[in-house]
Structure 1
Amino acid sequence: EPSSMQLKLIMRHLNEEGVDKIDGASSGEEALKLIEKYPPDLLITSMYLPDMTASELLSTVHKDFADLSISCMLISSEKNHHALEPVKQTGVIAILPKPFNHADLQRAIKSTLGIVNPEEIALDNYDIDDISILIVDDSSTSRNHIARIFSSMGISNIDQVENGLEAVAQLQEKDYELIVTDLNMPEMDGNELVHHIRTEMNNTTTPIMMLTTENNEARLGEVEQAGVSAILNKPFDPTTIREMMHRLMRD
């Protein structure tokens, strides 16, 4: 956070939520040096830093510190969908407005704890070791973030592909208990994939969860008509995914 006043305010809010191990940085480069020296569980950043944008910072973190499993959160007054899109695709757990309230921050901290201190999910009709999940997303960062959330639930059988065509090929070779897909992808998008699974493959039972930044109601309506089981907006948190898992795997 480049503003010292805003930085102090955010740190004070974190203190009030019981977080006391906090480092502050005013630029992207300073943040990267701190991450290398003191790897955090949660990275909170503003949208625009003096030397880079939030999406550039988060992309660098995911690339250079992939083994650290750092959760990321954006605090910004930015409302432009196109400006926020790259940040959402990096797999942030939350986007908080400026000013933000305690409830928003509490949810974000809870999401981080869900990954840092994972709790195995308990499903009535499934043994956790028997669950296989296919993740379909053209963003490797987004795929890895989604996989990390499912891994924190104790699920280890996770496959990843980049688009609908690769997903179709994978589905011809293996059965899955859950398919998680993005909407906007090259080759074959999420809508076409859902339609292919439900119609061409005659698979009407496997739950399909769509995670997307799309806000066009008509486009989302097409996906619902195609037979998607659930649509969640990016960013999403582990608690929401866990709750949706309970609903989909029960049905």
Structure 2
Amino acid sequence: MAMITSLADLSVVLVEPSSTQAHLVQRMLENQGVRTVTIVDTAQAALAALRAASGHTVVISSLYLPDQAGTDLVTAMRAEPALETVPFILVSSETRPQVLEPVRQSGACSIVAKPFTEQQLSRALYAAADYLSPPEDIDTAEVENLRVLVVDDSLASRRHLRRLLEELGITRIQEAVDGKEAVTLLEQAMVDLVITDYNMPEMDGRELIEYIRTQSWQAEVPILMVTSEQNMGRLAAVERAGVSAICDKPFEAGSIRRLISDALTR
């Protein structure tokens, strides 16, 4: 697939039941240079449009749709191999963490809060474009032998991170569904980087970091936490435990690449 050079290279499937809101967003997209915008009003129509689409496609969706929620739409996308890597941007006034958590865990590119400006929408689009465009300035020879352990109870999040790592040239990737499984893997094999979520069953991210720093024979390994956790007290405890860097979910692809680079060069 051709490299993205501008937002004009993107095709957007806009999922919005309100015709007024849809036309408002469409004008914003056109002002940003997006030439192809397909407007649908239901999740099922969005899936049909995506299956027929080609090129660099991005979904911009409201949370509440007539047939199902936007969270269900992104879950359905991630369940289809052909749609699994399509960037998803949620536009919503919803703020409750329990409602937004499925979107954060799905590997969504951005959550844009209503009301929003054209500049905020533009940033979300550029994040999607960055996700679709493999980096050109990465020295594959430097990273192809890196061993990375990804720890997250969300399969969608692990797949999202794996794709970004593989685009960097990293192919030696192990996965664990929680801290307890990660400990077992760390006892068996050496790794060069650990990327972990915070909220997980059995052993959470903080407990995993504390274990690595105080009990593991790999106590110096760089640890990057990618999390939707918003509690500052919990995040402060993670920093005290010895995390190398923390990145919010949803995250921009460029940000995660920079954090990985920084963590590995410390």
* TM-score, normalised by the number of residues in structure 1: 0.93
Worse overlay, 150-159 or 8-17: 150-159
After TM superposition, the structure 1 = structure 2 runs for residues 1-251 of structure 1, keeping only pairs within 5 Å, are 1-39=16-54, 41-66=57-82, 69-120=85-136, 122=138, 127-251=142-266
What CA deviation, in whole Å up to 9, does each residue of 1:204-246 have, x standing for no partner?
3211011111111221122112111111111111111122123
Q: What is the percent sequence identity of the aligned residues?
A: 37
Find the aligned partners of 2:238 and 2:106 in 1 and give their Cα distance: 23
The Cα offsets for residues 175-219 of structure 1, whole Å up to 9 and x where unpaired, read as 222110011111111111111111111433211011111111221
Distance 1:227 1:123 in 2: 28
> Judging changes above 3 Å, is the alpha-carbon distance between structure 1 residues 223 and 155 closer, same or farther for their aligned structure 2 residues?
same
Q: State the Cα deviation string for residues 49-68 of structure 1 (Å, max 9, x = none).
A: 11111111100110024565
2:148 and 2:247 map into 1 onto residues whose CA distance is 17
Q: Deviation at 1:166?
A: 1.2
Give the secondary structure class of the aligned counterpart of 1:187: coil
Corresponding letter in the other structure for 1:84? L
Q: Which deviates more, 86-95 or 34-43?
A: 34-43
Using the TM superposition, give the Cα deviation of residue 141 of structure 1 relative to its aligned residue in structure 2, in angstroms. Answer: 0.7
Per-residue CA distance 1:109-154 (angstroms, 9 max, x = gap): 2222223221155369x71212221110001011111112222223
Structure 2 CA distance, aligned partners of 1:120 and 1:184? 33
Q: Which secondary structure state, in structure 1, belongs to the residue aligned with residue 38 of structure 2?
A: coil
Alpha carbons 2:186, 2:218 under 8 Å: kept: no
Counterpart residue type for residue 160 of structure 2: H
Q: Is the 8 A contact 2:178 2:204 kept in 1?
A: yes
Q: Which has the higher strand share?
A: 2
Q: Secondary structure at the residue paired with 1:243?
A: helix
Q: In 1, distance between residues paired with 2:24 and 2:246? A: 35
Count of residue pairs brought into register by the alignment: 250
Please report the TM-score for the alignment, with normalisation by the length of structure 2: 0.88
| Partner residue in 1 for 2:5 | none
Q: Residue type of the partner of 1:158?
A: I
> Which consecutive unaligned segments of at least 5 residues does structure 1 have?
none
